[in-house]
Amino acid sequence: MGPYGMATRVLAGRFGSVWTYAGELTDIGQLSAHSLLKDYHFRSVTDATEIYGVAGGSVLHSVSPAMHNAAFRARATTPCICRCRPPAPPISPRSDGRIGISGASVTIPLKVSLFDQVDEIYSVARRIGAINTIRVEKGRWIGGNTDASGFLEPLQERVALPGLRASVLGAGGAARAVTVALASSGCSVRLHARNREQAEETAMLTSVEVGAWPPEPGSWIC
């Protein structure tokens, strides 16, 4: 049960089991029968089902499995996405083992640490220095990053970015992507983070300024 046992409950059909446990005792990590059937499409999981994961430090609250599995079903495909809270060391091409995932969504705190674990990095993710997706092709793990484009697209529909002053709070994987996205769009960016060293490392990606933490009152107003 719990975050490390979740895959054994959801993927029982993939390993030839004819049944699995379910229950309402969420405080000890049980999955309800309703969640197994509705969110994970348990009865559709077979040894041919493609498996995708959500990998991060705390992912039990994530709605990604329900959301993505609904999308898979709408497309008449049967992949299954499962939350993964990997023990140390985190999941990697060397530790994937018998589950044989086809890809994963990566969230904090693994966006940077898994960057060096994959076999290949897409150019955008390499520039950012962090990944938020993993795609498995012929046994090779390929890291990508959609944070930058995902952040910019709705913003570009609302404001003119060139010349805009922007403050970014934080210096983790998502902050790296946002900093690169804003700087490449012509914004004047200042990065603020509790960890000054980490902020300076992130700022070096695009030569943006590093500001104080917390930001000075009024300094972020255009």
Q: Which residues are annotated as catalytic?
A: 111
3-class secondary-structure state, position 4: helix
Strand partners of residue 137: 140
> Could you write out the three-class secondary structure of 139-205?
CEEEEECCHHHHHHHHHHCCCCCCCCEEEEECCCHHHHHHHHHHHHCCCEEEEECCCHHHHHHHHCC
Contact 41, 74 (CB under 8 A): no
* Cis bond before residue 215 (omega within 30° of 0): no
Contact residues for 114 (Cβ-Cβ < 8 A; gap 6+):
55, 90, 91, 92, 106, 131, 134, 143
Under DSSP, is residue 106 helix (H, G, I), strand (E, B) or coil?
A: strand
Report the C-alpha gap between 78 and 207 in whole angstroms.
Answer: 45
Q: Which two tokens stand for residue 102?
A: 């086809």
What is the rounded distance in angstroms from the CA atom of residue 181 to the CA atom of residue 11? 37
